[in-house]
Amino acid sequence: MDLSLIDRNFMWFKDRSCSRIDRVLVNIEWTEKFPDMRLKGGPRGLSDHYPLIVELTRVRGGPRPFRSLDSWFTHEGFLRVVKNEWRNLGDAQFTCKLKALTVPLRKWHKDNFGDMDKRLMMFEEEIKRLDNMVSDCIYDGTTKARRKALVSFCEKWYVRKEIHSKQISRSQYARNINKNTKYFDNIASARRRNNRIDTLMIGGRLVRNQARIKVAIRGFYKDLYRQKYALRIGVRDGLVKKIDGAEAEALGVLPSVEEIREAVWDCESSKTPGSDGYNMNFIKQCGEDIGQEFTAAVMGFFQSAKLPTDANVMWVTLAPKFVGSKEIKDFQPISMVGCVYNVILKVLVRRMRSVMSGLVGETQSSFVKGRKIHDSALIAYETVQWLKTQRKKAAIIKLDF
């Protein structure tokens, strides 16, 4: 595989020509041994080529946040553990109970799922030892039964490892195919390499240290979204479409249990969890134990128009728009909200779908189900092509709001 450059696009320059003719190729085994490696260019000096530098420094991140794993549900006793621990938390607020539940789940994970690779290696070595006994003619019914049990355990852990690796990789392309663990692990490693921010240009200043980068990013967005003065914008009557009274009343009505359930199952199960650490698969699988309180927490928002403090916490992550992003404008901020907040948004979005077609004009190609934002670009391209072939004269105005 070809390593991506992190600080430039080309490695060779001659007058006005430039190209990336120098490359570094590595195999899968190399990426597994050095998952945090990065490729960058060194000083060119008088040469036409930039030297290639492969960095193998290990990144020291902070403590890992709690994250629910889909592989937990392959364990026969996991749902029973959730049921017992949830009951022990009493009648506290739902979001507080979710936060408290992370403590026993962390411990359970460490005791039952810690170091899956080591467990698999142990099973494989024991199976190999039993196979060697066949050549020594030491093989009886007990040994055969033990080997069969070990193979069964090993197969279970293979499935768990694959489910875990797929969730971490966030791959949507390989489904219902066995033994893709290495594929998923390589995707996860490549994503970490591409998303890692070593240096960042903010306000014309190059920031290098990880701690300084965090402070600079926070300051940048704090200034960006600070409202310096209130804007008063008047809209002429009839210019903007409005919904009628019946539609407005339907948007604010208290949701039913069935509506909340449909919103939950409309959410993607294994999507990256938000600030509370739980993805929607956990809410769906544990619905028998926590579903009633979860529904009450969502209904509480529509009754009081207030969110609990814990539910109104979100994480903001920066996703690079392309490989090798260097400036703050090259990153897209993404908000990661908790499961309660997520379902509330889903209920509102599902309700808004019924009125959006009457609010959004026919010429607008987004915000309505069935329309795509790319349609406008395609129509504009086809229009320009038609004007050229027909030798027509026209004036085109591009408006960007």
Q: At what angle do helices 94-112 and 339-359 cross, to 10 degrees?
A: 120
The pLDDT score that the predictor gives to residue 203 is 80
The pLDDT score that the predictor gives to residue 293 is 93
Cβ atoms of 12 and 49 within 8 Å: the answer is yes
| Secondary structure class of 5 (helix, strand, coil) | strand
Point out the least confidently predicted range of 101-105, 173-177, 237-241, 294-298.
173-177
Question: Tens digit of pLDDT for each residue in 183-198?
Answer: 666 666 666 766 777 7
Is the pLDDT at 97 greater than 90, yes or no?
yes
Q: From residue 161, how far is each of 115, 117, 173 by CA, in Å?
A: 10, 8, 18
The pLDDT score that the predictor gives to residue 345 is 92
- Per-residue pLDDT band for 286 (boundaries 50, 70, 90) equals very high
- Per-residue pLDDT band for 182 (boundaries 50, 70, 90) equals low
- Per-residue pLDDT band for 129 (boundaries 50, 70, 90) equals confident
Question: Tens digit of pLDDT for each residue in 339-382?
Answer: 999 999 999 999 988 888 778 877 777 777 777 878 888 888 99
Is the pLDDT at 180 greater than 80, yes or no?
no
Is the pLDDT at 147 greater than 90, yes or no?
no
Cβ atoms of 290 and 278 within 8 Å: the answer is no
Phi, psi of 382 (to 5 degrees): -65, -35
Query: How far apart are alpha carbons 99 and 101 in whole angstroms?
Result: 5
Task: Please identify which residue in the block is written with the tokens 């036409």.
Answer: 48
The pLDDT score that the predictor gives to residue 184 is 65
Is the pLDDT at 208 greater than 70, yes or no?
yes
- Per-residue pLDDT band for 173 (boundaries 50, 70, 90) equals low
Cβ atoms of 260 and 343 within 8 Å: the answer is yes
| Secondary structure class of 334 (helix, strand, coil) | strand
Point out the least confidently predicted range of 18-32, 71-85, 282-296.
18-32
Q: Vertex 294, ends 304 and 281: CA angle to 5°? A: 135
Joined together, the tokens standing for residue 133 give 């006994």
Q: From residue 176, how far is each of 32, 159, 162, 184, 290 by CA, in Å?
A: 24, 11, 11, 13, 29
Query: How far apart are alpha carbons 169 and 158 in whole angstroms?
Result: 16
Task: Please identify which residue in the block is written with the tokens 């309660």.
Answer: 340
The pLDDT score that the predictor gives to residue 346 is 93
The pLDDT score that the predictor gives to residue 340 is 92
Point out the least confidently predicted range of 165-174, 236-245, 251-260.
165-174
Query: How far apart are alpha carbons 339 and 189 in whole angstroms?
Result: 27
